[in-house]
Structure 1
Amino acid sequence: MQIIQFLRTLKNKQLTIETKEKTTVKGILSKVDKKMNLHLLDATVKDEVIESYFVKGTRIRYIIVEESEVFGGVEKRKCVDDERKRMR
């Protein structure tokens, strides 16, 4: 799965972004474009809440997602096994 496709599955989920400038942004993913630019809603940056926030894809260092947001109640082992079968 391509990273952009994966990120699109996280729409409306809480993410934490660390930029190359070492700024941490936490918000709800609204949109991901083909250049991995992210649009976040209700973002928190340096203790300030911003209604809508844009992070340029080339400025992203890390994307942190809670495990529960990724698997959403699906058994993690099953997801890993399914992906291994697909890769064969």
Structure 2
Amino acid sequence: MVLLPGSPPEGHKHGRHLSTRAQQQNHPPRPTAPPSDDALSSVVRTLTAQLAELKQRHRVEVQILRQALEPAQSESL
């Protein structure tokens, strides 16, 4: 095995990896607090309003497309 100047030996790299893994196992991530009921209801209200707006926009777009399609359908008959 040839070591280049400035490069750590293989065992050193492996040891550093094991050390990092051991630290992660000793310190699990802290649990986050669940969102409050107010925050959840606010999100639900916002999403419900967005959904209602998208449904209305979809209805209008479909109505416009149907109106544009009617003349084309009568011409092809």
Larger Rg: 2
Structure with the higher helix share, 1 or 2: 2
Structure with greater contact order relative to length (CA < 8 Å, sep ≥ 6): 1
Normalised by the length of structure 1, the TM-score is 0.17
**Normalised TM-score (structure 2):** 0.19
**Which has the larger share of strand?**
1
